[in-house]
Amino acid sequence: MSSPYKTVALHTFGCKANFADTSLLNNQFSEIGYDVVPFDTIADVYVINTCSVTDNANKKCQYLIRKLKNRVPEALIGITGCYAQLKPKEIISIPGVNFVVGMHDKYSFINEIENLTTNDKRLFHSDDIQSLEDAFLAYSIDERTRSFVKIQDGCNYSCTYCTIPMARGKSRSPKINKVIDNIKKIELSNIQEVILSGINVGDFGRGNNESFHELLQAINKLTKVPRIRISSIEPNLITDKILELIGNESRFMPHLHIPLQSGSNKILRKMKRKYTVEMYIKKIEQVKKIIPECTIGADIIVGFPGESEDEFMQSYELLSALPISYLHVFPFSERENTVACEMKNKIKLDVKKARAKILRELSKIKFKKLQDTSLNQVRPVLFEFNENGYMSGLTDNYLRVNVFDAKSVNYKKTNFISNVKLLKSGSEVILGELLND
């Protein structure tokens, strides 16, 4: 490598697809001779892969840039991801930022930075996001136990609050055989679980005469990785065939994250979501009918423009009644160039915060209920790490479990699956007993 820069550190904000993208960047830097080092160590180059779902995500990136520049003033700092695609000029003007990389150049800029200095400012960017055709197959390896595999990118939906189509382009995905090839490569690393990730995974196969269900069938038939998990899927794209495959094949984890966003049909229409409250209820009922032990999570937005107290309570009451076990709660965040940004009847910040707090408390209650009803069950756990005298891992249905068992021959080992009896629930974890070695 002729570059004066020898080490690189990367940091990821945002979704699981972003983590997969960062892993691909890791590999590309390694292939041309860089040493990839932890982000909290000294490096020659720092790359931050960003999210832009909320204004808070942008602020986190800006804070990290300032922190980096103070800690390592002689390093190059580059920004990529959704924030970089949407706000390149804003980012390049931030003191300390040397280069900004949009989606078109995300995997081709690396050789171009070797001649940059800390005094340079360089944009690798195109506004023509809709011309992107490649989904850029990528996968991440997390602690050598689980891998986030990006199977799809972009989105064709027109949700009024969302910038994703502007940041990532139209929905696109690779052919099934390409995904299978990737998973087979992952198997060589002894990875125990693959998480199928994307911006809208249920839209897999659009334009390829393939479907998400067909992908799941192929993965089940042609790969050997022990556990397959779906990251998040839109309710209108969940079919009975998908649910039956998950329910009938033990390799597919009984865990689904199904965005709701609002429990009010009026607000769902304003958001331009592709389902009604009634459709969502039926879908959740169908999930539990076909996969009774399935843990279900949901996204919810509070304080959308015009959301009345009554409409917020519709969300609260719906979520209270449904068999959903945890919530990702987002106070509405205005994003430039979206329809929702121009809507009237904005909700005050203190009201949004209060509503978010109420739903987060509800989430704690519902998750504690899941924990308590799981006690004395025996569930398979994939152990990911060990520290402070215990081993920690995830059950098939997405419960964090800690085990202390110094007598076990597996004690302090990781990356293995074992049956565990769930004994005692805590605030975020369950204490368990290892049953077999």
pLDDT at residue number 423: 96
pLDDT tens digits for the chain (437 residues)?
A: 456 679 999 999 878 788 888 888 888 888 888 999 999 999 999 999 998 777 777 888 889 999 998 999 999 999 998 888 888 899 999 988 999 988 877 777 887 888 888 788 888 776 666 665 665 666 766 556 889 899 999 999 999 999 989 988 899 999 999 999 999 999 998 999 999 999 999 999 988 899 999 999 999 999 999 999 999 999 999 999 999 999 999 999 999 999 999 999 999 999 999 999 999 999 999 999 999 999 999 999 999 999 999 999 999 999 999 999 999 999 999 998 999 999 999 999 999 999 999 999 999 999 999 999 999 999 999 999 887 778 999 999 999 999 987 667 666 688 899 999 999 998 889 999 998 65
The two tokens of residue 412 are 């302090």
The owner of tokens 């390694």 is: 30
pLDDT at residue number 1: 47
Rounded Cα–Cα distance for residues 339 and 335 (Å)? 9
CA angle 88, 94, 95 (to 5 degrees): 145
- Give the domains, in start order, of the chain with CATH numbers: 7-127 (3.40.50.12160), 133-253 (3.30.750.210), 378-434 (2.40.50.140)
pLDDT at residue number 428: 87
